[in-house]
């Protein structure tokens, strides 16, 4: 099957000399299409916008929404608060400037869903918490939800299927990427040694530290622990997906978020497939009509 390419790439933000791009996938012959914004995974340490799964690109034509896959600055050269600024600025760009770039009547940015995979799912959840004008629906896919949860504060083995070896995690190879003063980037390629940062983080149980979250002020720390924060306010309708055999993000991370949303009496669907590991939805033939029917229910 031929790979679906983006219709357009736009720069939604510039920080000093660094341009931060987004890719747009547009439905054919559709007027005022709603928007699905997706963020890639990689622990906020690695990855790029072209990691978007085939099923999401296919769904653009099937369901008639515009899909945006956006980059953001990567840790530890920036902290989690700065990455969240990118997410907020991305949403502001979509809502206030995207129609000017595409032409009036192409998209309806007032109808917005936010999704993301792994760490991108964390960003989708954060956006739903902090945006004053919330998205109509969120759809986190095997998300990180708590950088101080048990899974990320205890050393973990290499995930099943990882292309990282113990040698790849050597500080001599990763030192540049681990240095907070190194060059700030908004994406990384699949061939860069940076692709081993997530495995290093799991081995060293260092996610919170790499994001710039340190023990101390509990109030400051708590805002990054999503299951605890959801209880404080309203939350949009949510579709959660997490494989029960995930070796890269413990499924209990999503269990806790699902419980918090249910406790706040907000609409939530939680899909927890047996036998599935991380990134199971990247398979070429994977489809999930229930996911998109849920999203479109709140965008139409």
Q: Are 40 and 116 in contact (CB under 8 A)?
A: yes
| pTM of the predicted protein model | 0.97
- What would the mean pLDDT of 73-99 be, rounded to a whole number? 98
Q: Which pLDDT does position 265 carry in this prediction?
A: 75
Q: Indicate the domain borders of the chain.
A: 8-299
pLDDT band at 233 (very low <50, low <70, confident <90, very high): low
pLDDT band at 12 (very low <50, low <70, confident <90, very high): very high
Distance between CA atoms of residues 110 and 39, nearest Å: 19
Distance between CA atoms of residues 297 and 215, nearest Å: 41
What's the whole-number average pLDDT of the chain? 95
Give the number of other Cβ atoms within 10 Å of residue 180's Cβ.
12
User: Where does 8-299 sit in CATH, by number?
Assistant: 3.40.50.1820
3-state helix, strand, coil in the chain (%, to 5): 40, 15, 45
Q: Which pLDDT does position 164 carry in this prediction?
A: 93
- What would the mean pLDDT of 111-132 be, rounded to a whole number? 97
Sheet holding 18-25, edge to edge: 8-15, 18-25, 66-70, 33-39, 107-117, 137-141, 238-241, 268-271
Residue 68 confidence (pLDDT) above 70 = yes
Q: Kindly list the distances between the CA atom of residue 193 and the CA atoms of 21, 185, 277, in Å, as whole numbers in the listed order.
A: 22, 14, 23
Residue 273 confidence (pLDDT) above 60 = yes
- What would the mean pLDDT of 104-117 be, rounded to a whole number? 97
* Beta-bridge mates of residue 36: 67, 113
pLDDT band at 232 (very low <50, low <70, confident <90, very high): low
- The H or E element containing residue 91 is helix 80-96
Q: Are 127 and 173 in contact (CB under 8 A)?
A: no
């Amino acid at each position: 099957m031929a790979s679906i390419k983006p219709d357009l790439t736009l720069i939604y933000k510039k920080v000093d000399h660094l341009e931060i791009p987004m890719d747009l996938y547009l439905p054919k012959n559709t007027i005022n299409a709603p928007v699905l914004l997706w963020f890639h995974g990689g622990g906020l340490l690695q990855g790029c916008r072209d990691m978007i799964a085939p099923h999401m690109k296919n769904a653009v034509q099937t369901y008639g929404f515009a899909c945006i896959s956006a980059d953001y600055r990567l840790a530890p050269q920036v902290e989690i608060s700065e990455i969240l600024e990118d997410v907020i600025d991305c949403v502001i760009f979509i809502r206030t400037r995207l129609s000017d770039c595409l032409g009036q009547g192409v998209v309806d940015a007032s109808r917005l869903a936010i999704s993301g995979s792994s760490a991108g799912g964390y960003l989708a959840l954060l956006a739903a918490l902090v945006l004053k004008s919330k998205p109509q629906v969120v759809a986190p896919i095997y998300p990180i939800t708590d950088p101080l949860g048990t899974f990320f504060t205890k050393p973990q083995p290499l995930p099943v299927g990882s292309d990282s070896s113990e040698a790849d995690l050597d500080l001599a190879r990763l030192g540049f990427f681990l240095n907070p003063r190194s060059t700030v980037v908004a994406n990384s390629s699949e061939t860069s040694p940076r692709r081993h940062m997530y495995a290093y983080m799991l081995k060293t149980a260092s996610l919170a530290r790499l994001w710039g979250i340190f023990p101390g002020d509990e109030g400051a720390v708590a805002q990054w622990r999503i299951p605890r924060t959801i209880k404080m306010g309203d939350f949009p309708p949510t579709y959660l997906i997490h494989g029960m055999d995930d070796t890269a993000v413990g499924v209990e991370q999503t269990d806790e978020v699902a419980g918090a949303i249910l406790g706040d009496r907000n609409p939530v669907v939680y899909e927890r497939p047996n036998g599935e590991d991380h990134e199971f939805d990247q398979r070429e033939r994977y489809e999930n009509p229930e996911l998109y029917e849920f999203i479109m229910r709140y965008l139409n």
